[in-house]
Amino acid sequence: MNNTKDLFMAGIWEDNPVFSQMLGLCITLAITNKVANGVTMGVAVFFVLTASSFVVSLIGDTVPRRVRIPVFMLVIATFVTLVYMFLQAFFMPLSQALGAYVGLIITNCVILGRLESFSSENSPWDSLVDAAGVATGFALALIAMSVVRELLGFGTLFGVQVLGSGWTPWVSMILAPGGFLVLGMLIWIQRAISPVEEE
Amino acid sequence: MMKKEVWMVAILVLVATISAGLLGFVNVTTRPIIEKNELRKLRESVLDSIKVDYNQDNLEDKFTSEIKTKTIDGKEIFFRYNDEGKLTAVAFEVTGSGFQGPISGLISLKPNLETIIGLEMLSQQETPGLGARITEEWFLKQFNGKKIKPELKIVKNPGDAINKVDAITGATRTSKAIQGLINDDVKHVRNKILTDKVMEGFRNE
């Protein structure tokens, strides 16, 4: 994969981290009941993933294989903590809305997965493009899920009433079962459009 | 072989040192801003809960002119007196464990320490979209004018009862936690900290 555009697009569609690779599902199921949460988490993951991919691609050759996971975790945790402090200092309301979930980015396997399988063995530029593609794919997946769940579960989008007052909110949509249902449906749609070839 | 292991340890130590240095630096630079934000948020919540009008520019002035702060038994209590020097509101922090982490809010009461004037949330880590809805206007507004007598109850279908407010669907444990921390902390302040005599004493200060 040398073509920059292909590399970027792969992360969004064919290799979408949520719908295709089935990674980061814990965060995906937990936070996608409101679109605002999905967008903020998407942006935070984008920053952490691109920054740590870049750093890891620079030091990937130097780090001995046996300590690569601790080193990757340190890099990820550093960037996540930076994001957390930055949000608290300059975007107080946002950081309060996300609460504990910013810290959970550290354990998001989408990030560790990219560092391990791509950034540690590729050039800084390719790693950046790959990370940006995968992070965008992740953010879009979060947004797609949260649009469906917030619309059906609250009757709102970004907290603004969209469906009329006659709408009875589907409470199960904001709870875990709704998350699993919507995730299943969206994976179904994605697979129907571009089927995975069995090897 | 030996050399390889030394190299391994050296790399880990190096990465950890750089990471710690970077975080330490950012922590030192952002801490004053974060503390200022938190103090501001506390003062805004005190004024909000007592229903004092203010704007972003006169927050500090309003707070110092309207509110007297006393630390009693290690707990900060905020008092508001009217122009005749009569006590009109008492506010303090209420804290406890929620479903996912600590919850802290700010409650203000009439001087009888029974009737709620207002409730604001300071910090919480509840589930976004479920427990985290305790920060939403509709939930907090319900508390205005309710009485903690004998106890405040957060239940489904509260009706018109003077001591009941509506719980959040899908967040029973968070609702119960709020109920518990309000009842416990108000009782504590009532019994241990603010007797009539104590409040009488502040009147002229």
C-alpha span between A135 and A79 (Å, rounded): 15
ipTM of the shown complex? 0.71
- B38-83, pLDDT tens digit by residue? 888 899 889 888 888 888 788 888 888 888 888 887 888 898 888 8
H helix or E strand, kind and range, residue B178:
helix B172-188
What pLDDT is stored for residue B1 in this prediction? 56
DSSP 8-state assignment for residue B126: P
Could you please report the per-residue DSSP string of A51-97? Answer: HHHHHHHHHTTTS-GGGHHHHHHHHHHHHHHHHHHHHHHH-HHHHHH
Contact: A88, B37; criterion CB under 8 Å: yes
Contact: B19, A78; criterion CB under 8 Å: yes
**Smallest Cα distance from B115 to chain A, Å:** 28
The answer to whether the beta carbons of residues A151 and A38 sit under 8 Å apart is: no
Q: Which residue of A has its CA nearest to B28?
A: A85
Q: Which residue of A has its CA nearest to B10?
A: A63
Strand partners, B81: B87
pLDDT of B97 > 90? The answer is yes
**Smallest Cα distance from B37 to chain A, Å:** 7
DSSP 8-state assignment for residue B1: -
The answer to whether the beta carbons of residues A75 and A52 sit under 8 Å apart is: yes
Within an 8 Å CB–CB cutoff, is residue A96 touching chain B?
Answer: yes
Burial class (CB in 10 A: 0-12, 13-18, 19+), B58: exposed
For residue B130, the chain A residues in CB contact (below 8 A) are: 33, 174-175
pLDDT of A100 > 80? The answer is no
φ, ψ of residue B105 to 5 degrees: the values are -135, 175
Residue whose C-alpha is closest to residue A77's, from B127, B15, B11: B15
**Smallest Cα distance from A189 to chain B, Å:** 26
Residues 54-83 of B with CB under 8 A from A: none
What pLDDT is stored for residue A119 in this prediction? 85
